[in-house]
Amino acid sequence: MTDTYEPPKVWTWETKSGGQFANINRPIAGATHDKDLQIGKHPFQLYSLATPNGVKVTVLFEELLALGLTDAEYDAWLINIGEGDQFGSGFVDVNPNSKIPALMDHSGDAPIRIFESGAILLHLAEKFDQFLGPKDKRPEMLSWLFWQMGSAPYLGGGFGHFYAYAPEKWEYPINRFAMETKRQLDVLDRHLADHKYLVDDYSIADIAIWSWYGQLVLGRLYSAAEFLDVESYKNVMRWAKEIDARPAVGRGRMVNRSFGAPETQLHERHDAADFETQTQDKLNPEAS
């Protein structure tokens, strides 16, 4: 960063910020257009995209269904943030923050909206009394869940943005957020040296943290695994690979995925059979 920037006395939005995702950033909230959300047949209606925050929720749904909890059946609708779907009036009604994921729970007497991925995980885990960890470790589990919610913006909006998406490579922010990302990985690595999972039993804390940090060390985020020397975090690597091997995790990663290999993309999910019949390689074989 060689040029000195002098902030104005009052910031104004005169030009859009640069970078790959400039078109989704704006300094105001609210809808930009009218668009109703689709509603399927199942109790839970998820509106999402397979970013790490979206993957958290679809992995939990698939884990619940793997336990035979058929009341956890869900419809997953693709929200294309590149096209501004998150600013449609229907989506804003579910999540006034215009971020994925957003969930409507129709299982009770009246529909309930839940936004923020951590809140959705906690709502579903409490509703089905699963993946909450041992009762005497509940505060520990919640501490790790909220650790992820507070820490991941430094990884995503900080490191990921400046390392992978900013219009130019700037040494200062990359160094600043690489250092913080590695500090967080060290926090995890030290804890996982003495624990198989975050709180003894596999829980929503593992699901939330794996979706960001597990996928990071497995080389799926920002093409930054070598840069961050992720192999040096041996306990995180062991934990990430164990969770990655779970069949429900593999299915959850596919839901609402609109990038990557066609056989990994299940744009919408309405039935368990969709994993075999509705992936993009099946729907558009000529594109495979």
Q: What is the CATH number of the domain that holds 165?
A: 1.20.1050.10
Beta-bridge partner residues of 269: 76
Residue 282 lies in a domain: no
Nearest to 53 by CA among 115, 9, 101, 107: 101
Q: Return d(Cα 231, Cα 26) in angstroms, integer.
A: 37
Residue 226 lies in a domain: yes
Domain that holds residue 142: 135-250
Residue 163 lies in a domain: yes
Residue 189 lies in a domain: yes
pLDDT of residue 96: 97
pTM, two decimals, is 0.95
The pairing of strands 74-78 and 102-105 is unpaired
pLDDT of residue 18: 64
pLDDT of residue 196: 98
pLDDT of residue 16: 58
pLDDT of residue 288: 61
Nearest to 263 by CA among 276, 247, 249, 279: 279
At residue 33, the 3 state secondary structure works out as: strand
Residue 102 lies in a domain: no
pLDDT of residue 2: 57
**How do the pLDDT tens digits run along the chain, 288 residues long?**
557 888 999 998 876 566 677 778 889 999 999 999 999 999 999 999 999 999 999 999 999 999 999 999 999 999 999 999 999 999 999 999 999 999 999 999 999 999 999 999 999 999 999 999 999 999 999 999 999 999 999 999 999 999 999 999 999 999 999 999 999 999 999 999 999 999 989 999 999 999 999 999 999 999 999 999 999 999 999 999 999 999 999 999 999 999 999 999 999 999 999 999 999 999 988 766
pLDDT of residue 225: 97
Q: Return d(Cα 16, Cα 5) in angstroms, integer.
A: 17
pLDDT of residue 227: 98
Residue 202 lies in a domain: yes
Say how many domains are in the chain. 1
Residue 30 lies in a domain: no
Residue 11 lies in a domain: no
Asked if residues 61 and 48 have their Cβ atoms less than 8 Å apart, the reply is no
pLDDT of residue 249: 98
My answer on whether omega of the bond before 52 falls inside 30° of 0, hence cis, is no
